[in-house]
Amino acid sequence: MSSRTLPLLFINLGGEMLYILDQRLRAQNIPADKAKKVSTIAAWIEEDRKRVMNDIITTMFNKKFLEELFKPQELYSKKALRTVFDRLAHASIMRLNQASMDKLYDLMTMAFKYQVLLCPRPKDILLVSFNHMDAIKDFVKDTPSILSQVDETYRQLIEMYTPLSSGEFQLIRQTLLIFFQDMHIRVSIFLKDKVQNSNGRFVLPTSGSVPHGTQVPGLIRIFSCTGEELTRQQFNNGGNYNAALREGSFEIFGDRVTKLGTNMYSVSRPVETHMSGTSKNSAQHTKVSAAPNPLAKEELNLLARLMGGLEVEKPGNTDSGFRVNLFATDEEEEEALISRPDELSYGVINIQATKDQQANAELAKIMGEFTESGDQSPGASSKGDDLLAMMDGL
């Protein structure tokens, strides 16, 4: 539907991902002096955390990448978008197992779905995006080079979205809602805050402030042919509404007013999802199609390739303890992977380095644009590293 949806989807999901990773990295944090004593346990020190965040944000706001992102295009399939985020999550020294990555993606998508649903006006999705951007800006405030990339993105968002009409924003929102259709994963923090029911549906209150530009329901006015008001009547609106709050700011700096899109995690509120209750709703989940899709090559597209090609400095031993676990223990993580219902698997497309890179001329050209050191060494990379690759017959 709307060809302007992808940037908003990507930036907001990316923002949620950063909130979650930031919280997990802090939770697994060990003070620097203790870290020196525990050489065998995975230990994140403050430096590492900042570095991971910076690396991911740098990749997210890469100029070439954003140029591609902001082009008018249809939304990606769930599979393709998940692959893009897989890449993004691994654009640093951090490693995530399949189960943790699945959980991360579940949380990100349910959080943004919640924000889209609860936006009072479709245009408020832009304010939600600005809340995410404001937080991202705060993460990199000490690094001027990344900061300027972020500022440039603000400008692009403002340029592209502020002129849109309410109807066009609603089309964007409707496109996003189709993307999120039938996702009802229960998120612990939402259940605790009573914004999500135990059946996975979000609570839509019939109370609170009406959106900016809307009147509190209840008034019927009748006019004469000359335009004078003849009568006014009140009716019972069945809810408990109050007048709209002031409008949030659509500039680079400003009070966004809405809390949607701000960081709801903190070290003391761990991120959890419940898998057990969802299998009874399995009939309603869209089954991930396993059939070969002739358009699949298009899906695993420029964006994912662009992302995979970005060089990231790797320390000496990639396999040792720079792993992030989204669960409380390693055992839980393994358990989650085994017990994840089939219909909720994302069917992530595996990318492997191949020797056929030259076969795709376009790909080779892009590789040329990104490679700084000049050569890739597929042989030396570990299984978890992603290089630019072609897909092998989906």
Residues 196 to 235 in contact with another protein, rule: CB under 8 A: 197, 199-204, 206, 210-211, 213-225, 227, 230, 233, 235
**Contact, 327 vs 271, CB < 8 A?**
no
Question: Tokens for 116?
Answer: 């889209």
Q: Build a one-symbol-per-residue string for 66-95: x at contacts with another protein by CB under 8 A, - elsewhere.
A: ------xxx---------------------
* 69 closest CA partner among 157, 133, 173, 137: 157
Nearer to another protein, 211 or 321 (CB): 211
**387: its two tokens:** 């290089």
Contacts of residue 159, defined as CB under 8 A and 6 or more positions apart, other chains included, come to none
CB 352, min distance to another protein, A: 26
User: Residue 26 or 78: which CB sits closer to another protein?
Assistant: 78
In whole angstroms, the minimum distance from the beta carbon of 394 to another protein comes to: 14
Q: CA-to-CA distance for 123 and 130, rounded, in angstroms?
A: 12
Name the minimum Å distance from CB 178 to another protein. Answer: 5
Nearer to another protein, 32 or 219 (CB): 219
- DSSP string for 95-128: EE-HHHHHHHHHHHHHHHHHHHHH-SSTTHHHHH
Closer Cβ to another protein, 181 or 373, answer by number: 181
> Do residues 130 and 119 make contact, with C-beta atoms less than 8 angstroms apart?
no
Question: Does 298 help bind another protein (rule: CB under 8 A)?
Answer: no
Are 192 and 203 spatial neighbours (Cβ–Cβ below 8 Å)? no
Helix (H) or strand (E) holding 231: strand 229-234
- Site mask for another protein (CB under 8 A), range 12-51, x = bound: ----------------------------------------
H or E element at residue 232? strand 229-234
Note whether 120 binds another protein by CB under 8 A. yes
Q: How far is the CB of 201 from another protein (least distance, A)?
A: 5
The strand pair at 273-274 and 219-223 is best described as unpaired
Q: How far apart are CA 231 and CA 109, in angstroms?
A: 48
Using CA atoms in the order 38, 17, 143, 153, what is the torsion angle rounded to 10 degrees? 170
Interface positions, 157-176, toward another protein (CB under 8 A)? 165-168, 170-171, 173-174
350 part of the interface to another protein, by CB under 8 A? no
Cβ 203 to another protein shortest distance, Å: 6
Binds another protein (CB under 8 A): choice among 14, 15, 122, 248? 122
CA-based nearest residue to 18, from 77, 92, 80, 75:
92
Q: What is the binding site for another protein (CB under 8 A)?
A: 1-4, 72-74, 117, 120-122, 165-168, 170-171, 173-174, 177-178, 181-182, 184, 197, 199-204, 206, 210-211, 213-225, 227, 230, 233, 235-239, 241, 281, 284, 286, 294-295
